[in-house]
Amino acid sequence: MKTLAALRAPPANAGRVEAIVVRGDSRLPARLIERTIARAGLGLADDRLGQRGEAELSTRQVTLIQHEHLPVIAQLARVSAVDPVALRRNLVVSGINLLALKNARLRVGEALLELVGPCHPCSRMEEAIGPGGYAAMRGHGGMTARVLEDGPIAVGDAVFALAAETAGSTGAGRPR
């Protein structure tokens, strides 16, 4: 039987970047892009936080949401589908359980991110999804992250959770 520590180890399977969403001013609509550069200590180069050129909101430099949660959010909000752009999370990823990886380091494309904690919904989800959008997002809002190492990220890139012994190293950082 595996120990609890072994069960909590990052999975060896890879996820995938399904979409990249960037935001201009806080009230402007977000938009999809195909690639960007993660900037250590700042965020994504094409996003409003990464463009400021100053470390801000250090625990929220990049936001991630699980692609598999989008249909769940839609069902809970009683809508046919949820547009990930309207949710304003930077990276939509699939195939890896973000919520199980709090405090883990992820290699996303060539960038290194550290998951910090849950990305709680804001009241704008009522506008984005419709009545009940805020409640539907609770528990499904994704995770926030810091950028530890610069690197390009593109739609289709692999997402790997790094084992604790390799998380501090630089380089390709592939799963165990």
- Report how far residue 102's alpha carbon sits from residue 3's, in angstroms, rounded to the nearest whole number: 19
Q: Compute the CA torsion angle 26, 114, 150, 18 (nearest 10 deg).
A: -70
- Report how far residue 149's alpha carbon sits from residue 107's, in angstroms, rounded to the nearest whole number: 9
- Report how far residue 35's alpha carbon sits from residue 157's, in angstroms, rounded to the nearest whole number: 10
Query: Is a pLDDT exceeding 80 seen at residue 176?
Result: no
In CATH, what number does 17-164 get?
A: 2.40.33.20
The pair phi, psi for residue 78, each rounded to 5°, is 60, 45
What is the phi-psi region of residue 43: left when phi exceeds 0, alpha when psi lies from -120 to 50, beta otherwise? Answer: left
Average pLDDT over residues 35-51: 89
Q: How far is CA 153 from the centre of its chain?
A: 12
- Give the count of beta carbons closer than 10 Å to the beta carbon of residue 170: 9
Q: Is 31 helix (H, G, I), strand (E, B) or coil?
A: strand
Which is more confident, 9 or 145? 145
Please state whether beta strands 62-66 and 143-149 pair in parallel, antiparallel, or not at all (unpaired). Answer: antiparallel
Report how far apart, in Å, the C-alpha atoms of 94 and of each of 30, 52, 66, 119, 160 are: 20, 29, 6, 17, 11
The one-letter amino acid code at 82 reads V
Residues 80-137 have pLDDT tens digits of 999 999 999 999 999 999 988 888 999 999 999 999 999 988 888 888 898 999 999 9
Looking at every residue in the chain, the average pLDDT score rounds to: 86
Give residue 169's pLDDT.
Answer: 47
Give residue 9's pLDDT.
Answer: 65
The DSSP element (H or E) to which 166 belongs, if any, is: helix 164-167
pTM, whole model, 2 decimals? Answer: 0.85
Residues 15-33 have pLDDT tens digits of 999 999 998 877 788 999 9
For residue 152 the two structure tokens come to: 């390009």
User: What would you report as the CA-atom Rg of the chain, rounded to the nearest whole angstrom?
Assistant: 16
